[in-house]
Copies of this chain bind each other. A is one copy, B any other.
Amino acid sequence: MRAKKEVFRRYLRENGLRFTPERGRILEAAVSQSAHFDAEELYLKLRRRYGRISKASVYRTIPLLVQCGLIRAVGHHDGRYHYEYIYGHAHHCHLRCLECDKMVEFTLNSLNEIEGQVGKKYRFIVTGHRLEFHGYCLQCSRAIKKNRHSPVFDSSP
């Protein structure tokens, strides 16, 4: 299953950009990331695996992968953007713990329908949506109950 590479190659070709070893490796690293990732994690992984790679290349490649639909930005917390590989995966929503950052993924079909209605009503071409539920997971909500004197800060976006 190397369709993803073909998608990337085609996207690059059609935009007068070049397919380079670095870009190939960055794509591979993004794909093989088990869950969500950020630019730094991608960079470190590439560093370990191949040695020479620059952060600039990672940062310059990420928007290309977003643009051709292979990955998407999931959100922004802790001061960084977080991404996930999406090509060939069903669209899904996230449930995130504000305390420990645990993430659960789940699908919600009804939104696709709503997307169309909303687009029609407000005359938008709706290209996607992002839905995140947030709160506290079992462990964290227990921990918080115990020491309710240490204030929990929800500075999340």
A-side residues, CB < 8 A to B, are 15, 63, 66-67, 73, 75-76, 81, 95, 97-98, 104, 106, 108, 110, 114-115, 118-119, 121-138, 141, 151, 153-157
Contact = CB atoms under 8 A, between A and B. Distances in A.
Contact of A155 (B63, B97, B125, B131): B63
B127 A98 contact: yes
A106 B126 CA distance: 14
Given A124-B95, A141-B125, A73 B135 contact: no
A126 B133 contact: yes
A75 B127 CA distance: 17
Contact of A137 (B95, B110, B124, B136): B124
